[in-house]
């Protein structure tokens, strides 16, 4: 088996990405402190044709060399917007009938493997600070809380890993409902 060269991967151009039909997923970053995590989220969002990323609170904005290091140009493809207050974005998305899903460990959370998407819905996936998680007011305002099942000794996953897992899962489920 031969590894493929980048030129053989048939990827979209920047213009092709901009005009492509997007996956009905929005990412909300609630006070993410690591620039590398932010860049990784951009790269994951590019891979799955995500509609938009909202960078909130202390979450840094492009251009920044440490975001660029992991984003590898995806800050130029994925639409993004900065908001000082995460709750302002949550309220806005809810008025647009977007289903807001906090990714957090919480009472009565829905385990990701039991989460079912509904056809024709757009989902906002909210990821929180590396230490404090998604803020309680955002959890309270969310339509549901999704939790990634974990079976080891650690209490959490890195935010960029969580974003990759949840985005892939929701992406696959949305594709299956057409």
Q: Are 17 and 121 in contact (CB under 8 A)?
A: no
Q: Are 162 and 127 in contact (CB under 8 A)?
A: yes
How far from chain centre, in Å, is Cα 172?
Answer: 14
pTM score, whole prediction: 0.97
The rounded distance, in Å, linking the Cα atoms of 8 and 129 is 37
Q: Which domains does the chain have, with CATH numbers?
A: 20-177 (3.40.1280.10)
pLDDT of 178 > 90? The answer is: no
Per-residue pLDDT tens digits for 66-102 = 999 999 999 999 999 999 999 999 999 999 999 999 9
Which pLDDT score is estimated for 26?
98
CB within 8 Å of 7: residues ≥ 6 apart = none
Per-residue pLDDT tens digits for 134-153 = 999 999 999 999 999 999 99
């Amino acid at each position: 088996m031969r590894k493929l060269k980048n030129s053989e991967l048939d990827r979209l151009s920047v213009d092709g990405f901009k005009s492509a039909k997007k996956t009905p997923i929005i990412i909300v970053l609630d006070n993410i402190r690591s620039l590398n995590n932010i860049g990784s989220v951009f790269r994951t969002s590019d891979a799955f044709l995500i509609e938009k990323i909202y960078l909130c609170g202390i979450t840094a904005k492009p251009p920044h060399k440490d975001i660029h290091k992991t984003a590898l140009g995806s800050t130029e493809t994925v639409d993004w917007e900065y908001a000082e207050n995460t709750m302002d974005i949550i309220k806005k998305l809810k008025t647009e009938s977007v289903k807001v899903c906090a990714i957090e460990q919480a009472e009565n959370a829905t385990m990701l493997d039991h989460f079912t998407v509904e056809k024709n819905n757009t989902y906002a996936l909210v990821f929180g600070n590396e230490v404090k998680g998604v803020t309680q007011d955002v959890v309270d305002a969310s339509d549901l809380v999704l939790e990634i099942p974990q079976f080891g000794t650690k209490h959490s996953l890195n935010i960029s890993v969580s974003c990759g897992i949840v985005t892939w899962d929701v992406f696959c489920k949305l594709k299956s409902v057409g």
